[in-house]
Amino acid sequence: MSAPDRTTAVELDAASPLAHHRDLFLLPPDVVYLDGNSLGALPRAAAVRLGHTVTGEWGHGLISSWNSADWVNLPRRVGARIAPLIGVHPADVHVGDSTTVTLFKTLVAATRLRPDRRVLVLEPGTFPTDGYVAAGVAETLGLELRWCDPADPAAALDDDVAVLSLTHVDFRTGAMYDLAGVTAAAHDAGALMQWDLCHSTGAVPVDLTAADADIAVGCTYKYLNGGPGSPAFSWVHPRHQEAWSQPITGWFGHARPFEMERDFEPATGIARMASGTPPVLALSALDAALEVFDGVSLDVLRRVSLSLTDYFIALVDERLGPTFEVITPREHALRGSQVSLRHEAAYGVVQALIERGVVGDFRSPDVARFGFAPLYVSHVDVYDAVDNLVAVMEHEEHARPAYAIRNAVT
């Protein structure tokens, strides 16, 4: 079989409608970065903005910047930028805490909307924090946590289920649920539908309104490029907002925070998702980072993402055949924006690739993950990544003794 030709990749990039978006990011020139599904790359605008926020707004403006730079409204201003990426009204998105803390708040509030029901349903392969939080909520409120069959979540639903909470795109395999179909099944059972959008927002079109979902949460440091530890977003359908009662009733979620009243009265709308002082530096960086989506249609984003993942899978099939099992669905409708390869030495494979400047990551026990952020990953990156993967396997670089000990973050 003749070796695939790199010029095909060059031609695909030349025809890509997003080819020039890569210039909006500060990427090291000698790195193929396929880990934007874990930590997105740095948008140039975020670096500039952070400098301004630190020295100008904080350094010079000091406390007056809460008003003059409108720090106080950052959670909603940033939420409004995220809204079009998930198909919701700009006034209905809040940004503030970590995904984990946000999940706790939304799960408790959601179960309070279904007081006659005692069960939370999740799937067992969900991202661990989702399961851990649900178990904590179940224990705190005396509810039952029920694990469903990932292939058929609806089978676990009955008239005792308050909330079905799923991750739209699976962190390990990159498999994607049918957002509207599963939401409809939850509603048929009288349950609320919560989506964790960490692995879809910014890479996969999401339309929560069309799907008629109830609640969504998602992180902003992956495909939204907000930077390490940037705060998560939450969305609650307007039909639930008036009765929405999240458990961390802090002063920033009060109707009148600076009246300093003794008793809590929630703010109207999604603003009641706030608890304490917003993380201004992180929100400012995220606000600027989201500019890279200005003028980008989600359909174009999806087309480029699928072109990249299709190309990666085709090259792996052609050049590495049975060495790796592609565990990501090949069907477009079932695939997010990452491709996962199973191999018993996956950790060593990922480390050897990183040594060669190709950055993916490893998920226990045997998965090498590669994320394709369509705004800055090119087809040439894909070609070079597979070329390096072939070389790693040929020279058995993955078997180096140094890779027997895993780093703290894999």
Ligand X SMILES: Cc1ncc(COP(=O)(O)O)c(C=O)c1O
> Which of 324, 369, 372, 383 is the catalytic position?
369
> 3-state class of 305 per DSSP?
helix
Question: Between the CA of residue 229 and those of 19, 184, 197, 276, 375, what are the distances in Å?
Answer: 28, 33, 16, 17, 21
Q: Which positions from 53 through 82 interact with ligand X, judged by CB under 6 A?
A: none
Q: Which positions from 202 through 221 interact with ligand X, judged by CB under 6 A?
A: 219
Are 335 and 328 in contact, with CB atoms under 8 Å apart? yes
Least distance to ligand X, CB of residue 222, Å: 7
- One residue of 99, 305, 307, 340 binding ligand X per CB under 6 A: 99
Least distance to ligand X, CB of residue 372, Å: 16
369 carries an active-site annotation: yes
221 carries an active-site annotation: yes
Token pair for 53: 């926020």
The reply on whether position 199 binds ligand X by CB under 6 A is yes
The dihedral built from the CA positions of residue 201, 406, 312 and 314, taken in this order, carries a sign that is negative
Number of residues lying near ligand X (CB under 6 A):
13
Stretch that binds ligand X, among 45-53, 95-103, 138-146, 322-330 (CB under 6 A): 95-103
The reply on whether position 237 binds ligand X by CB under 6 A is no
Residue 275's identity, in one-letter code, is S
Q: Which positions from 130 through 159 interact with ligand X, judged by CB under 6 A?
A: 130
319 carries an active-site annotation: no
Token pair for 142: 């005396």
Are 322 and 296 in contact, with CB atoms under 8 Å apart? no
- One residue of 120, 157, 161, 232 binding ligand X per CB under 6 A: 232
> In angstroms, how far apart are the furthest CA atoms of the chain?
76
> Which of 221, 293, 312, 383 is the catalytic position?
221
The reply on whether position 167 binds ligand X by CB under 6 A is yes
178 carries an active-site annotation: no
Rounded distance, CA 405 to CA 347, Å? 9
> 3-state class of 64 per DSSP?
helix
264 carries an active-site annotation: no
Q: 230 or 378: whose CB is closer to ligand X? A: 230
Rounded distance, CA 64 to CA 105, Å? 31
Rounded distance, CA 41 to CA 29, Å? 13
> Which of 33, 104, 127, 177 is the catalytic position?
127
Q: 100 or 209: whose CB is closer to ligand X? A: 100
Known catalytic residues are: 127, 196, 221-222, 369
